[in-house]
Amino acid sequence: MNLYLKSISELSKMLDDKKISSYELTEYFLKRIKKYNKKINAFISIDENKSMEFAKIADIDIRNKNKNILTGIPIAHKDLFCTKDFLTTCGSKMLSNFKPPYDATVVKKLANKGMVPLGKTNMDEFAMGSTNETSFFGSVKNPWDFSRVPGGSSGGSAAAVASGMVTVSSGSDTGGSIRQPAAFCGLTGLKPTYGTVSRYGMIAYASSLDQGGVLARNAKDCAIIYDSIRGFDSNDSTTHNKEYNFSSKLYLDKDSAKDYSIGIPTNFIQNNLSSSLSKYFDIFIEDLKKLGFKIKDVELPIDKITIPAYYIIASSEASSNLSRYDGVKYGHRSQKAENLNELYFNSRTEGFGHEVKKRIMIGTFSLSSGYYDENYLLALKLRRKVCEEFKKIFNDVDFLICPSSTDVAFKLGDNDKTPIDIYLSDMFTTPVNLAGLPAVSLPTNFYKNLPVGMQIIGNHFEEEKILNLANLYQENSIWHKEFPGELS
């Protein structure tokens, strides 16, 4: 029985009908992890006994009819969400022995729904990377081609779902870290509106950009998880203290599609998309036209400013956030220090990897006296410009669409790509984070046996609309149902 292809709703019905227990379901996925994780390296930590304990509790709730749609369903958590039952390493030597005394709000909310945690997934160190090659625990392999990257920084979460080691996984998105891995691994990935999902217990990279979200095989599963993790949290002052309509019951059909318009930022895309993917974007547009949507060309004149603004803001905030890791209270402590200054210096030198050090240095320079105004302050002004351009567009159209990445998954250790090339691969995702908008990436085709992903961008708090569009597309396509043959 291919349970790894089942949706949350299908697995929940099987649990309702007593066709399987949560204990058996958890055991099934743990066996797949044991079988495939050595090849893929998607998980950093697993504790079978703890997972089975959660499953037993879920089975008791099911027997007592104290059940909701998520009770007994296994989930994996990206290893930057604090979990008191599992290590939380953030993919770094700095936190390789860190076991938090509490759960992140996202973890707690899903546990309260009865979900069963299987373990913590691999990631780029402190979420800094687009390939999942910066992890202290080694690179993650793309389930569609083990010689290629799964994307980053949520590459472990994406690879775990794409390989059928779990049905759904949490992720985080600072500049595309859910949507790009979703595109590379043939998944659906939701990055919500900034502030709709609590960041409490989510180890910070860039506080004004980080946002928790979900990776799954389809839009319906993303909607179910999002509905359970969204909402105000008194522990996170950046969460929105307002109610807005959201339904995980997706309802958009072809008859109502004609009432919606989709914007195509043609110049922005043509200037940055690889020629190999250009035709697949055109096919995606034609598919949406067939569903009845109105298509309009729009201007989005931001392609030259988003990457510089994003990396200056993100690196500056990282410089501040990561200053707490000094070898004193928790995390890696150097054994080669004879005084306090050496303790700080050696602990951070040994604990952080190359990419993290590089971004800390960029951020520290951008915030330094004499450079603050022409770097960080200018980046904030450019960010405001990005927000204003999106605001203009959403006065005219309901959605924006564009590719999730400039190309398909690239080779592990690709020496032809410079660091700048890697940063530029986030061209289509970083504007969404700068503006705090919601977006969903979904698989729309294949190029040379590798998934092609496109993203749907909505206005603030319009997760329901973008998930409805994604679901309607998936009801009329097959791409989200594809699975790597080698892992069947």
**What residues are annotated to the active site?**
78, 153, 177
In the structure encoding, which two tokens stand for residue 465, read together? 């609309």
Q: Look-up: residue for tokens 């690179």? A: 139
Q: Strand 116-121 to strand 399-403: parallel, antiparallel, or no bridges (unpaired)?
A: unpaired
456 near 432, Cβ under 8 Å? Answer: no
Instruction: Give the single-character DSSP code of 140.
Output: P
HSE (CB half, 13 Å, CA atoms) of 354?
Answer: 3
CA distance 26 to 279: 41
Residues with Cβ within 8 Å of 89's Cβ and at least 6 positions away in sequence, in order, are 44, 45, 79, 95, 96, 98, 120, 136, 137
- Between the alpha carbon of residue 36 and those of residues 29, 31, 32, 146, 162, the distances in Å are 10, 9, 6, 12, 12
Instruction: Judge contact between 222 and 440, C-beta under 8 A.
Output: yes
Task: Give the length of the chain.
Answer: 488
The CA–CA distances, whole Å, from 138 to 45, 420, 444 equal: 13, 22, 30
CA 106 centroid distance within chain: 13
